[in-house]
Amino acid sequence: MTKKTLTIDAKGKHYTPLNIEIRAAVKDGVKEIILDNINGQRFIANGLRGDDVTIIINGVPGGDLAMFMSGPTCIVHANAEHAPGNTMDSGKIFIHGTAGDAVAHSMRGGEVYVRDSIGYRGGIHMKAYKEKYPALVVGGGTRAFLGEYMAGGILLVLGRGTDTIPVDERGIGTGIHGGELFIRGEVPDHLLGIGAAKKPFTEDDREKIRPYIENYCREFDVDEPELFSDDYVHIGPSSARPFAGKYCW
Amino acid sequence: MPIGSVPPKYKVTIDNDLCMLCERCIENCSYGAFRREGNKILINSRACTGCHRCVAMCPRDAIDLEEKPVDYRSHPIWSREAREAIYKQAESGKIILTGMGNTLEVPPIFDRLLLDACQVTNPSIDPLREPIELRTYIGKKPRKLEIKKNAQGDIDLVTKLAPNLKCETPIMIAHMSYGAISLNAQLSLARGASEMGTFMGTGEGGLHKSLYPYQNNMIVQIASGRFGVNIDYLERGAAIEIKIGQGAKPGIGGHLPGEKVDEEVSKTRMIPLYSDAISPAPHHDIYSIEDLSQLVRSLKEATEWKKPVFVKIAAVHNVVAIAAGIARSSADAVVIDGFRGGTGSAPRVFRDHVGIPIEAAIAAVDEKLNKQGIRNEISIIASGGIRDSADVTKAIALGADSVYIGTAALVSLGCRVCGSCYRGLCPWGIATQREELTSRIDPDIMYKNVSNLINGWTLEIAELMGAAGINSIESLRGNRDRLRGYMLDENILSVLDVKTVGAGA
């Protein structure tokens, strides 16, 4: 009978043989893969399939963690480099730390949870289609250009450990034409990008974000009732067609 | 303040002696230029785009079409187009949109390059009696081959070869997405390309399931919008192409208007019905040449290093350095799209004024990669304004491995290059998603036009090569000595590394 758990020592290992081992393990029916001594290997779980597979990453993964991934769950016990969840199809990523730029870039499904803060261009061009509804949950704050060109899905900024303005840089939601952002704290109007508009934060919205906050608290062992009770700034598209009306012929 | 209407671009007339009132013109014109009143077809010439659908479908040749019936006072600088652009913008305050390629009246460099042929010495080759090898492999070639004798005394290849695309002809079909063109147009192109043992691009619109039978001859594209991209899509393609830029609109993204995102387009692109599909100007995970290399490797890693990965860029001023960077990124081919490249929709100012001609870009990139000793690392695919087999042959002699044809392939389906693709009413059923129009293309019949075209050009290339005493495409590639420049200045000749007409070997 196959072992359901496999531990791989990734010390000094190049990403290609590492991914080959991961793929082979998933094919063999391994359900939990523990990667020890990860130190900057890029593309971990890239394009990997398997709905019931969990990959535990001990160490800092390099860029494009779980890009194009379809199904598995990745748990990172460290910070992550840029673009985890890039163009991800489905599955989950939990990052016990911070993450770099372009987190969840163009993500089309699945969920990414970052315990602390993220860099620039978080959730840029996330998009939804039918049952695919991507979610990015950031525990801390973010840098500029958050949720630009968003076409669908949900982006939640909890603002823990930041002052009252968790996203204190410009370009929030520039060109957004679908999906929505919820930011706990203040969002000065001048930080909103072209095409983004504030919307009322309703009780329905609160219900909508609740499961994501629950998942966040459960994974990162956080007990802060104010995450549920505080008001969030709700941001969405001012028009579904930000580029319409620009052209003549 | 109203300035009145501009003169109609076309004047359509019907010879009533010939007309039999069959109303095919009315049925066929999606722009509504024709209507019947009593026993007469009436015409609104102002609606005409010059697409010729009515002319082509009239059984009696009763329709006549005249371009610019009322022209402006002639002026060498203030062309009709310059004046009308101002009227449009004075009225709207907007960006002017156009379709198809560059309309600037500057001569293509291809037309100023002449091919060679053998006379007396070095006899020419007749492709009828001797093989002319046109098979082209796209992808990395090893710097050297390591071989080893095995126990049985046979020779084993030790060097690990990178995956290559095997094309039976150096002509491939460019990326035109489902959305920009119809599924029936894509199906015709895909089947035509497959039939000829070559490849076609999906564009950034996903891969519709009815194209799966042709997936081994399709190159899937990943562009800044990432539409229709998932692991399944990447695995289906014979190769993957990262689109950075397009010759018709270098430096800007694309917007597929929501009206074109019907049920099937929505499914294929994986975006909601009738939503705008916006491809940002850059890939927001690529802000440097190192980031590009990361995406190239990410795609290879996701597909277990089984697929060649191409990078498509527009030919811009710095194309040489960019291509050299791409050659070092693990990419297998660089696609260079010149400033004559076509499009379904681009701002006029970009289409006509941004970028450089493909001829200069091919020669400059090929030379630089050779000088740096990395030409084997990457294939060069040239596109943008390739009109016939002579252009293909010249492009290869300048240094390309193969070419992409876009507009030419659409013309084989009937396109008349009327340049109104962005309106979504294409009467030829190509640049439209309206079923009553797309049904005008029967892929089971029209694919033959595509394969015929590629076959015809391939035969011509073989003849041209045979006449020049060249029997394999490798000996033509970068063989600039078989080109001569006619009425080109010294600077261009030096960039092209081509001698002037009259210069000997």
Strand runs labelled E in B126-281: 136-138, 147-149, 155-157, 165-167, 171-173, 200-201, 218-222, 239-243, 254-256, 277-279
Identify the segments of chain B with pLDDT beneath 50: none
Cross-chain Cβ contact A151/B278 below 8 Å: yes
Closest residue on chain A to B258 (Cα): A241
Cross-chain Cβ contact B276/A243 below 8 Å: yes
Q: How far is CA A42 from the centre of its chain?
A: 17
Tokens for B242?
């990262």
- For residue B459, the distance in angstroms to the closest alpha carbon of chain A comes to 40
Alpha helices in B216-272 (DSSP H): 231-236, 263-269
Q: Which residue has the tokens 């156009």?
A: B98
For A189-202, what is the mean pLDDT? Answer: 96
pLDDT of A117 reads 98
The predicted-structure confidence for B185-196, as pLDDT tens digits, reads as follows 999 999 999 999
Cross-chain Cβ contact B294/A177 below 8 Å: no
pLDDT of A2 reads 55
pLDDT of B371 reads 97
pLDDT of A211 reads 98
User: Which of B94, B297, B347 shows the shortest C-beta gap to A43?
Assistant: B297
pLDDT of B1 reads 63
Cross-chain Cβ contact B423/A67 below 8 Å: no
The predicted-structure confidence for A142-183, as pLDDT tens digits, reads as follows 999 999 999 999 999 999 998 889 999 999 999 999 999 999
Q: Which of A68, A90, A120, A246 should one mutate to test binding to chain B, selecting the residue with the greatest count of B CBs within 10 A?
A: A68
pLDDT of B182 reads 97
| Residues whose CB falls within 8 Å of the CB of residue A169, separated by 6 or more in sequence, listed in order | A142, A143, A144, A145, A191
| A66 touching chain B per CB within 8 A | no
User: Which of B91, B94, B285 shows the shortest C-beta gap to A86?
Assistant: B285
Q: CA gyration radius for chain B?
A: 24
Interface of B with A (CB under 8 A): 88-89, 91-92, 94-98, 224-226, 229-232, 234, 255, 257-258, 266, 270-272, 275-276, 278, 280, 284-285, 294-295, 297-298, 301-305, 347, 422-423
| A119 touching chain B per CB within 8 A | no
pLDDT of B96 reads 94
pLDDT of A180 reads 97
pTM: 0.95
CB pairs under 8 A between A and B: 129
User: Which of A42, A47, A149 shows the shortest C-beta gap to B234?
Assistant: A47
- ipTM higher than the 0.90 cut: yes
User: Which of A16, A125, A248 shows the shortest C-beta gap to B284?
Assistant: A125
- For residue A96, the distance in angstroms to the closest alpha carbon of chain B comes to 22
Q: Which residue has the tokens 């049952």?
A: A131
Write out the DSSP string of A177-237. -EEEEEEES---GGGBPTTEEEE---HHHHHHHHHHHHHHHHHHT---THHHHS-EEEEEE
pLDDT of B255 reads 82
CB-count exposure of residue B94 (10 Å: 0-12, 13-18, 19+)? middle
User: Which of A42, A151, A247 shows the shortest C-beta gap to B94?
Assistant: A247
For A109-118, what is the mean pLDDT? Answer: 98
pLDDT of B148 reads 95
| A243 touching chain B per CB within 8 A | yes
The predicted-structure confidence for A94-108, as pLDDT tens digits, reads as follows 999 999 999 999 999
User: Which of B92, B95, B270 shows the shortest C-beta gap to A108?
Assistant: B270
Q: B171 by DSSP, 3-state: which?
A: strand
pLDDT of A170 reads 95
Spatial separation of the C-alpha atoms in residues B18 and B22, rounded to whole Å: 11
